[in-house]
Chain A
Amino acid sequence: MTSDRERTGGRAGRRNPTWDLATLDALRTLIDRQIVDADGMSLARVDDVELELHEDGAPTISALLCGTLALGPRLGGRLGVWWSAVGRRLRGQDDPRPVRIDFDHVATLKPTELRLDLTEPDAPPFALRIWTREKIVTRLPGGTR
Chain B
Amino acid sequence: MSRVRLETLLGAPVTDARGEHVGVVHDARFTADGPPLASGRPAYRLTALICGPVTVGTRLGYGGGVHGPWPLGHVFRFLGRHSRLVAWDQVDSFDQGHVRLNVPHDHLKPLPSTESKRRTHDHDSGGHR
Which residues of chain A have a CB within 8 Å of any CB of chain B? 13-14, 17-19, 21-28, 31, 48-55, 57-62, 65, 70, 73-74, 103-104
Instruction: Say which residue of B3, B28, B42, B59 sits within 8 Å of A26 (CB atoms).
Output: B28
- Kindly provide the distance from the CB of B87 to the nearest chain A CB, expressed in whole angstroms: 10
Most buried by A among B30, B61, B65: B30
Instruction: Say which residue of A18, A25, A53, A58 sits within 8 Å of B3 (CB atoms).
Output: A53
Q: Is the CB of B44 within 8 A of A24?
A: yes
The answer to the question of B123 belonging to the interface, with a C-beta cut-off of 8 Å to chain A, is no
Instruction: List A contacts of B59 (CB < 8 A).
Output: 27
Q: Is the interface of B mostly helix, strand, loop or mixed?
A: mixed
A21 CA to B44 CA in the complex, in Å? 10
Instruction: List B contacts of A59 (CB < 8 A).
Output: 4, 45-46
Q: Is the CB of B5 within 8 A of A65?
A: yes
Given contacts A17-B42, A104-B37, 5 further A-B contacts (CB under 8 A): A18-B41, A22-B32, A24-B30, A50-B4, A54-B35
Interface string of B31-73 (1 = CB under 8 A from A): 1101111111111111100100000001101001100000000
Instruction: List A contacts of B6 (CB < 8 A).
Output: 26, 31, 48-51
Instruction: Say which residue of B37, B40, B46 sits within 8 Å of A58 (CB atoms).
Output: B46
